A and B are shown apart, each in its own frame.
Chain A
Amino acid sequence: MIASHYVYWTFFALMLIGLYVVISHGNLLKKLIGLTLFQVGVFLFYIGLGKRDGGSAPIISDGVEVYSHPLPQVLILTAIVVGVATLAVGLALAVRIFEAYGTVEEDEVVERDRADLATGHDGHQAAGRDSGGS
């Protein structure tokens, strides 16, 4: 069972490593790296589903009898676009957090919010945020 499905075990290991990084790291960028690893594991899992032993790329050509399944590949093309968009929004937010707090460590950000609360400053950001990127 393990031997014949070793590909899936590898992919699931990759997913779990990604998920562990997301949970265990407080650095926002490392969280995003973990998230991407997790997503890539799932992408590979889909591609693995469509692979057949000895199958060639799903392009009709002479003398080829066995093809890999094209549908999972198409689905993952869409999912990769979604993944890139997620990463882009995540990185943009990390940049904005760095501009607003001067750090990308989650603990320090929370610490600064708490300090704000204690001093009565409500974190209102008027000037700083519009000088930043669009």
Chain B
Amino acid sequence: MTGQLPVLQVAAPLLCAPLCVLLRSRTVAWLLFLVASLASLTCAALLAVRVDRSGTLRYAMGDWQAPYGIEFVVNGFNTPVLLLVSLSAVVVAVYSRRSVAGELAPRRVPLLYACLCLTLAGLLGLAITGDVFNAFVFLEISSLSTYTLIAMGRRRQALLAAFRYLVIGSVGAVFVLIGIGLAYAVTGTLNMGDLAQRVTGGHDNRSLQAAVVLVFVGLAVKMAVFPLHAWLPAAYAEAPSAVSTFIAATGTKVAIYVFCRFAFTVFGATLVFGAMPVGRIGLLLAALGILLGSAAACFQDDLRYLLAWSSVAQVGYIVAGVSLATTAGVSAAYLHMIMHSVTKAALFATAGLLLLRLGTVRLAALAGVGRRMPWTFAAFVVAGLGLVGVPPTAGFVSKWALVTALVEQGQWLVLAAMLSGSLLAVFYVGRVVEVAWFREPTADAEPAAAPASMVTAIWFLVLLSVSFGFDASLPAHLADAAASALLGNGGG
């Protein structure tokens, strides 16, 4: 039974998706999503423990041995991603019950859970697969279901946001497909480990260099790296609250993991960061993304757009760490991935609760809400401090690791961008706090009561982020294991 864990990880949510559609009951669909995400979390935790104890796990799909068959590989580099995605899914499952009921027409609810199950299956599959073409298929499964989820937003703007994301996301995915095709033409294999072996020595091959460029540009769309971030703000801000919480916590993070996987364990660091200037370009785009994302966040007058723009900036921090291509840099990037995922999920979840209670999250309408609903807003402030990186929150630990990694490499300009980004974060988080706490309330209508399940989910995330701030040994251990697995080329 335990030998089947890697495939169960993906199969559980994948099987629940059609059941949600067929059974057509809101409660059953919600239960199915909850069960699927709990099952994934159990699998991920068991796999993490086994990998930690005995190293790489390989699963040959249908017993067709690699490199001919499709292979699932679990190693230090993807256990943090599997844990992160499935844990976010469990929290979102708890959160979504009341949130979705308040935002969607009843007959759409089972469909939303079906799409959430599919997104979960796609993201987990993308994280666990050891086959490049399989990665493309999982990328499209998660993307297509995400487009549908975004289109379920309560305003009609959600439709155009979803359509734009669909067009640019599909173009990105097709770029990845061309890149995979070129790499296949050069090497004749699709297995990641096998590709890595056959790529060595072919660094002057033009087709291979084109493959690297195409795969990375395609993934950059999914990662929302500046200047390919244009789809992100509207997509996050217009999606239903539970959906934006889930995709803000997982979507771009899994794409960043896939980038790392391709860069270090498929094409190899000597080709990507040595022979080609991917590292320098990555640092430049990261710095620009941090500055422009943070600056744009300062000018938003809708809380969810503000948070979404801040996500563009945070992707920059993670990309900067990865682009250093050092153990310290990649480890810091993983750490920031985990910390930011928890923090941003808490913020989007809080914004969703405010939306449910007030009917709007425009900053002008938030005047004085801190005084009327202190607990909800306290969660926002604590998570917001995590976004800025104030000790002792989670954001401080990972930003400190990033700063150390940048100083080690003498990347002063990127460091300056990162610190200015944090200052801008003080400003845009501070602006929300100022409006909510220090302005006189405008409307005197009593806000709707906060559902206990949503409050529980939010405070779980907030407390998790604070506890990581005090004791980051678990995420730091995962991040170090990931970095050494990637750079030691231990997985393949």
Chain A contacts to B: CB under 8 angstroms:
15, 19, 22, 28, 31-32, 35, 38-39, 42, 45-46, 49, 72, 75, 78-79, 82, 85-86, 89-90, 93-94, 96-97, 100-101, 106, 109-110, 113, 122-125, 129-130, 134
Contact = CB atoms under 8 A, between A and B. Distances in A.
Contacts, number: 84
Contact of B163 (A49, A97, A129): A97
B159 A96 contact: yes
B159 A100 contact: yes
B154 interface: yes
Given A22-B171, A45-B181, A130-B107, A123 B163 contact: no
B187 to A, nearest CB: 12
A112 to B, nearest CB: 9
B170 A35 contact: yes
Contact of A94 (B137, B163, B184): B163
B184 A49 contact: yes
B171 A124 contact: no
B450 interface: no
Interface in B92-127: 105, 107
A97 B184 contact: no
Given A39-B174, A94-B163, A123-B156, A86 B181 contact: no
A100 B170 CA distance: 23
A124 B158 CA distance: 10
A129 B105 contact: yes
Contacts of B154: 124-125
Contacts of B77: none
A38 B174 contact: yes
B140 interface: yes
B67 to A, nearest CB: 12
B413 interface: no
Given A31-B167, A45-B178, 18 more contacts: A19-B171, A38-B174, A39-B174, A42-B174, A82-B137, A85-B144, A86-B166, A86-B170, A89-B166, A90-B167, A93-B163, A96-B151, A97-B160, A123-B156, A124-B155, A125-B154, A125-B156, A129-B105
A68 B218 CA distance: 29
Contact of A75 (B107, B133, B144): B133
Contacts of B159: 93, 96-97, 100
Interface hub of B144, B156, B360 (most chain A Cβ within 10 A)? B156
Nearest to A28: B163
Contact of A113 (B140, B157, B174): B157
Interface of B: 105, 107, 133, 136-137, 140, 144, 147-148, 151, 154-157, 159-160, 162-163, 166-167, 170-171, 174, 177-178, 181, 184-185, 360
18 contacts: A15-B178, A35-B170, A45-B178, A72-B184, A75-B133, A82-B137, A82-B144, A86-B166, A90-B163, A90-B167, A93-B162, A93-B166, A97-B160, A100-B156, A101-B156, A110-B160, A125-B156, A129-B105
B109 to A, nearest CB: 12
A123 B157 contact: yes
Nearest to B168: A22
A25 to B, nearest CB: 11
A90 B166 contact: yes
A32 B157 CA distance: 19
Most chain B beta-carbon contacts within 10 A, residue among A22, A86, A96: A86
B148 A89 contact: yes
B122 to A, nearest CB: 12
Contacts of A75: 133
Contacts of A129: 105, 156
A71 B486 CA distance: 29
Contacts of A134: 107
A101 B163 CA distance: 14
A89 B177 CA distance: 19
A132 B299 CA distance: 36
A86 B140 contact: yes
Contacts of B151: 93, 96
Contacts of A86: 140, 144, 166, 170
Contacts of A94: 163
Contacts of A72: 181, 184
Contacts of A35: 167, 170-171
Contact of A89 (B144, B155, B184): B144
B160 A38 contact: no
Contacts of A101: 156
Contacts of A39: 170, 174
Nearest to B166: A90
A45 B177 CA distance: 10
List 4 A-B pairs, minimum CB-CB distance, nearest first.
A123-B155, A100-B156, A82-B140, A123-B156
Contacts of B171: 19, 22, 35, 38
A123 B171 CA distance: 28
A129 B159 CA distance: 11
Contacts of A110: 160
Contacts of A85: 140, 144
A89 B147 contact: yes
A46 B163 contact: no
Max chain B Cβ within 10 angstroms of own Cβ: one of A28, A82, A113: A82
A29 to B, nearest CB: 11
B371 to A, nearest CB: 25
